[in-house]
Amino acid sequence: MKHIISLNELPLNHYAEVKNINCNGIDRRRFLDLGIIQGTKLKPILKSPSGDPVAYEIRRTIIAIRSEDAKKIHVVEV
């Protein structure tokens, strides 16, 4: 059984599936609006030169997410 990690811990070019989002309010609404819901598959594809934010491929779209926000998204590598 694979263990759950925070999205910011996922290595580049590895696929993962969202298990839960650990926040409420505006942050949670923003993730849901971006299509980041339980069961969504995503992949980190590019880090900025400073390492933050990271660009993720989510539903055939590229979205940059700050490390601070990625810590709120829990995933399991697939």
pLDDT digits (tens, 9 = 90+) for 22-58: 999 999 999 999 999 999 999 999 999 998 999 999 9
For the stretch 54-74, pLDDT in tens is 999 999 999 999 999 999 999
For the stretch 2-11, pLDDT in tens is 799 999 999 9
CA distance readout (Å), 34 to 2, 3, 5, 49, 50: 25, 25, 20, 24, 24
Domains along the chain with CATH numbers: 5-77 (2.30.30.90)
Output the pLDDT for position 2. Answer: 79
